[in-house]
Amino acid sequence: MNRLLSLLGALTVATTVFAAEKPALDVRDFGAKGDGVTKDTVAIQKALDTCAANGGGSVLVSDGIFLTGSLVIGANTTLEIAAKTSLVGSADVADYPTTNVRWEGEFREGHRALLTASNAANITLTGAGTIFGPPPVLSKLRNPRGPVLIELTGCTNAVLENFTTQYQQLWSIHILFCKNFTARGLTIRTVGANGDGIDVDSCNGVTVEHCDINTGDDAISLKSGRGLAAQNLARPTENVVIRDCRLHSSIYAALGFGTEMSGGIRKVKLENCVISGKQNAIFIKSRDGRGGYMEDISGENLTVLKSPTFIGIDLMSKGIQATDPVPGDLEKWPLVQNISFKNVRVQDVAALVLGKNIPAARPIDGFTLANISGTCARGITLANMTNVNLSAIRVTGFEAPLISTENVKGTGLALSATK
């Protein structure tokens, strides 16, 4: 809670200081058993509701295995899951009421998350415990969508820190329309398609740091809706910093941009991370009918381990079409500009950059690679780009040529390197 105080105005600070002085509410005092058999949903929810009604404070879950359905966290509340403690999602679908969610870029019916908060300020989930999602009988649901693990909508000053999650075949953490969000020190594990680690969806001011994310799908995915409705809503994902993390995907990408990005993605920094993916380490992706934009994306001081590509770019064929595609011969394509990566070490990467599927009608404007070293089987393939700047590409082991281009303008395009 103290980490949040510096971010708040005087009135809010007074409220949260008062709440922080109160003793933590122990869910066992509200009837929770923690025996792994009894459903503790009612007891834990009562503790959370009491905390919020009293102006905020802390709720403690400790010393046991707590079986629960969906829980709602109120404003000014810290939920602590202590070490050697597990919060386990119930297998009963009735424990997850249906609500309106944004899933794969469009609003539709979905089951409420295991842990959820809406339009609440100063939410903290902390502790060294583990959160286990419900079993595949629920996580495989798509119509309506099954319950994600943690879903925050319209929240301000939310912090998730230090705990571990385990889930499968559905998103672990989804933040939508949030402002000033921090994920710190998390260990996230998922398996299977749709098993994203953190989905950042139309949020402003996001920091992900010191996290270890190993997932079936994208480790981190940046989104902002798909189709004309999302473009008109104009809620981009912006001002994102991802630093000092380990990101791995066993199926897709360590870091994915899109495909749902009609509201825009901008001002993203990736720093001091170790990344790898089954298809791409970094994937910038879209298709016709998305519109939108991706701009001011940068990465620095990265280590890229065995992956099919360091950077994959496909703006023409990824993702299902929106129910209301963005129209126009030019406007239907995303506007992508100012992508820059420097000081990158690659190890056993199949292709350094694969960026061919880019519409000629809307070429990428501004693509920089500088000080790239290590080993790769193939070099850089680019199409339909302007203001490209390549420098200090010092890789070995590749099959010539190092650089292959089509309709590309810029500097450093004639670079060579040691085979």
Q: How far apart are CA 328 and CA 231, in angstroms?
A: 13
Cis peptide before 368 (omega within 30 of 0): no
Give dist(CA 407, CA 385) in Å, integer. Answer: 7
Q: What is the pTM (predicted TM-score) of this model?
A: 0.94
**Residue 79 in 3-state DSSP?**
strand
Q: What is the pLDDT along the chain (419 residues), one digit of tens a residue?
A: 343 333 333 333 323 333 456 799 999 999 999 999 999 999 999 999 999 999 999 999 999 999 999 999 999 999 999 999 999 999 999 999 999 999 999 999 999 999 999 999 999 999 999 999 999 999 999 999 999 999 999 999 999 999 999 999 999 999 999 999 999 999 999 999 999 999 999 999 999 999 999 999 999 999 999 999 999 999 999 999 999 999 999 999 999 999 999 999 999 999 999 999 999 999 999 999 999 999 999 999 999 999 999 999 999 999 999 999 999 999 999 999 999 999 999 999 999 999 999 999 999 999 999 999 999 999 999 999 999 999 999 999 999 899 999 999 999 998 654 33
Burial class (CB in 10 A: 0-12, 13-18, 19+), 348: middle
d(CA 261, CA 106): 11
Residue-wise pLDDT for 116-146, tens only, equals 999 999 999 999 999 999 999 999 999 999 9
Give ∠ CA 24-27-28 in degrees, rounded to 5. 115
Kindly state the DSSP code that residue 214 receives in the 8-state scheme: E
Element (H, E) at 410: strand 403-411
Distance separating alpha carbons of residues 316 and 297, to the nearest angstrom: 19
Q: Which two tokens stand for residue 357?
A: 């599927």
d(CA 380, CA 237): 28
Phi, psi dihedrals of residue 7, rounded to the nearest 5°: -90, -10
- Domains along the chain with CATH numbers: 90-411 (2.160.20.10)
| C-alpha distance from residue 73 to each of 119, 172, 199 (Å) | 10, 17, 19
Whether 77 contacts 48, CB under 8 Å:
yes
Give the helix/strand (H/E) hosting 173.
Answer: strand 173-176
Q: What is the 8-class DSSP label of residue 413?
A: T
Label residue 296 exposed, middle or buried (CB < 10 Å: 0-12, 13-18, 19+): middle
- Separation CA 149–CA 195 (nearest Å): 11
The phi and psi torsions of 391 (rounded to 5 degrees) equal: -155, 150
- Other C-beta atoms within 10 Å of 35: how many? 11
Residue-wise pLDDT for 325-368, tens only, equals 999 999 999 999 999 999 999 999 999 999 999 999 999 999 99
First to last CA, the chain: 54
